[in-house]
């Protein structure tokens, strides 16, 4: 028996696409995705984008000057309802790194139909919670994927 590894998704150009399945635990009692579940889907998309370019959270904690991320802003527009058992794609584009801030645009789609979209800002922080510039390794790996003026 082979061991199945979880997917980190794939890139379409500079946009990362992470397939996710809606489980019962993601929904309210009617089978519609609960609004907070979309935030978890968006988080997975950002994390798997970074993992796919060789940046893992655990490794950031092991740097000589360890760091992590803190979400400072997220604006979500909900367009349609997703339901239990739906197959969704979380589409992520990072579009800028300015100082300590990293900006991304994300969409969740089902068979091409827009379900939700988010404008996101995270900051790189030290372990004491104070902001810091992203480590050069992160900035360098992100550079070729940045999409200015992403929708």
Inter-residue contact 88 to 82 (CB < 8 Å): yes
- DSSP 3-state assignment of 30? coil
| Cα(147)–Cα(151) distance, integer angstroms | 9
Tell me the DSSP string of 106-134.
Answer: EEEEETTEEEEEEEEEEEEE-TTS-B-PP
How many CA within 13 A on the CB side of residue 130?
2
β-bridge partners, 37 = none
Write down the H helix ranges in the chain. Answer: 35-52, 57-61, 136-143
Catalytic site includes residue 28: yes
Q: Which bin fits 130, alpha (ψ -120 to 50), beta or left (φ > 0)? A: beta
Exactly one of 26, 28, 89, 119 is catalytic; name it: 28
What positions carry a catalytic annotation? 28
């Amino acid at each position: 028996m082979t061991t199945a590894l979880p997917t980190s998704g794939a890139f379409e150009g500079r946009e990362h696409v992470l397939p996710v399945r809606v489980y019962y635990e993601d929904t309210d009692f009617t089978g519609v995705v609960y609004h907070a579940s979309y935030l978890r889907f968006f988080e997975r998309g950002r994390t798997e984008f970074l993992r796919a370019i060789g940046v893992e959270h655990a490794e950031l904690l092991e740097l000589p000057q360890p760091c992590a991320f803190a979400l400072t802003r997220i604006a979500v527009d909900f367009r349609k309802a997703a339901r239990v058992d739906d197959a969704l794609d979380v589409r992520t584009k990072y579009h800028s790194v300015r100082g300590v801030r990293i900006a991304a645009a994300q969409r969740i789609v089902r068979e091409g139909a827009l379900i939700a979209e988010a404008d996101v800002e995270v900051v790189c922080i030290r372990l004491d919670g104070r902001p810091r510039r992203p480590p050069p390794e992160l900035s360098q790996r992100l550079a070729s994927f940045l999409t200015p003026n992403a929708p």
